[in-house]
């Protein structure tokens, strides 16, 4: 007579281990074996969320850059207002030539500060108001990646917010000896043109900031929806899983008890046959 060994059913133990892994990770899906289709979708959603996060960072970085540029141009605008005020003072014949030359010195100091702002305004070592710290040419228009596709680009216009770019280099280099009332009056038109140009730069920066803010809100909305979808798909329902864990634990204990009882029965049969 052959007595078969009792094979312990492993499925409750495997289910118990799988349930424990879910509880430990907090995820419904931990491997392709759990649900291959859902895992693939979850991975795609996670990748999309990661791309959206980086795009949001790009937008915030771009906004920080433009806010720095805007603040600097605002200060330049104040300088030009001050220069115009001094030109008006120099344009009247009640101002002496000596006083006029002193005014010109003050104007030149203001314009030098105007240029210093242009050369020193930077974000991440990139000059924002002219091509480079030592190059007064216009900037190259910036392109900001404000989304996850190749078309999600927001561009800035070129900027040349220095005395060369706004047409005040002649005033900066004006000979004091020939700076009379009529010369001062002639520069008033140049100042008005410069103010218009600087204000245009600010307007363009403001428009770009509005575009970026709109993109940022849209990206955040997409990110929220994407992460919510992934959470619904992959996050664990703890109460449900703990209930399942308890069930599998009971089944495993019953299986072990049954196997032990069967083993005892077989042992008793063998003992009786041998006696």
Per residue in 228-265, pLDDT tens? 887 777 655 556 656 655 665 665 566 555 555 555 55
Q: How far is CA 271 from CA 103, 265, 266, 268, in A?
A: 122, 10, 9, 5
Give the model's pLDDT for residue 42.
81
Give the model's pLDDT for residue 270.
46
Give the model's pLDDT for residue 55.
97
Output the six-digit token pair for 98.
């000596």
Looking up tokens 């900066």 gives: 172
Say how far apart CA 135 and CA 54 lie, in whole Å. Answer: 32
Domain spans, the chain? 11-42+235-274, 55-233
- Euclidean distance between the first and the last CA atom of the chain, given in angstroms as a whole number: 15
Give the model's pLDDT for residue 29.
64
Query: In this structure, how many other beta carbons lie within 10 angstroms of the beta carbon of residue 265?
Result: 12
Give the model's pLDDT for residue 267.
53
Q: Are 148 and 52 in contact (CB under 8 A)?
A: yes
Interacting residues of 101 by C-beta distance below 8 A, sequence separation 6+:
176, 177, 179
Give the model's pLDDT for residue 212.
97
Kindly report whether the global pTM for this prediction surpasses the value 0.85.
no
pLDDT tens for the chain, residues 1 to 275: 444 444 445 555 555 566 556 656 656 566 555 557 777 888 898 899 999 999 999 999 999 999 999 999 999 999 999 999 999 999 999 999 999 999 999 999 999 999 999 999 999 999 999 999 999 999 999 999 999 999 999 999 999 999 999 999 999 999 999 999 999 999 999 999 999 999 999 999 999 999 999 999 999 999 999 988 877 776 555 566 566 556 656 655 665 555 555 555 555 554 555 55
Query: What's the CATH class of domain 55-233?
Result: mainly alpha
Output the six-digit token pair for 89.
């003072």
The closest of 91, 167, 107 to 136, measured between CA atoms, is 167
The closest of 176, 211, 61 to 128, measured between CA atoms, is 61
Interacting residues of 124 by C-beta distance below 8 A, sequence separation 6+:
61, 65
Give the model's pLDDT for residue 25.
62
Q: How far is CA 234 from CA 26, 145, 151, 185, in A?
A: 9, 30, 31, 73
Give the model's pLDDT for residue 24.
61
Interacting residues of 104 by C-beta distance below 8 A, sequence separation 6+:
90, 174, 176, 179
Say how far apart CA 118 and CA 172 lie, in whole Å. Answer: 15
């Amino acid at each position: 007579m052959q007595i078969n060994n009792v094979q312990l059913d492993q499925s409750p133990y495997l289910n118990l281990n799988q349930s424990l892994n879910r509880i430990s990770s907090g995820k419904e899906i931990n491997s392709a074996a759990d649900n291959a289709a859902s895992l693939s979708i979850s991975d795609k959603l996670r990748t999309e969320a990661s791309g959206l996060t980086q795009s949001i960072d790009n937008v915030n970085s771009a906004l920080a850059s433009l806010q720095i540029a805007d603040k600097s141009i605002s200060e330049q605008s104040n300088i030009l207002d001050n220069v115009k005020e001094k030109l008006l003072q120099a344009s009247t014949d009640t101002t002496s030539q000596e006083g006029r030359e002193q005014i010109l010195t003050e104007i030149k100091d203001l314009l030098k500060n105007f240029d210093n702002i242009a050369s020193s305004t930077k974000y991440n070592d990139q000059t924002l108001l002219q091509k480079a710290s030592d190059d007064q040419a216009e900037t190259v228009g910036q392109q900001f990646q404000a989304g996850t596709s190749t078309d999600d680009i927001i561009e800035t216009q070129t900027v040349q917010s220095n005395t060369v770019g706004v047409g005040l280099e002649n005033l900066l280099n004006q000979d004091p000896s020939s700076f009379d009332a009529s010369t001062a009056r002639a520069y008033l038109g140049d100042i008005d043109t410069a103010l218009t140009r600087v204000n245009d730069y600010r307007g363009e920066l403001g428009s770009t900031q509005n575009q970026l803010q709109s993109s940022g809100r849209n990206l955040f909305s997409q990110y929220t929806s994407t992460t919510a979808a992934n959470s619904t798909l992959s996050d664990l329902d703890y109460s449900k899983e703990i209930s399942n864990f308890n069930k599998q634990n009971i089944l495993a204990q019953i299986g072990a008890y049954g196997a032990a009882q069967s083993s005892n029965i077989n042992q008793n049969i063998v003992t009786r046959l041998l006696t």
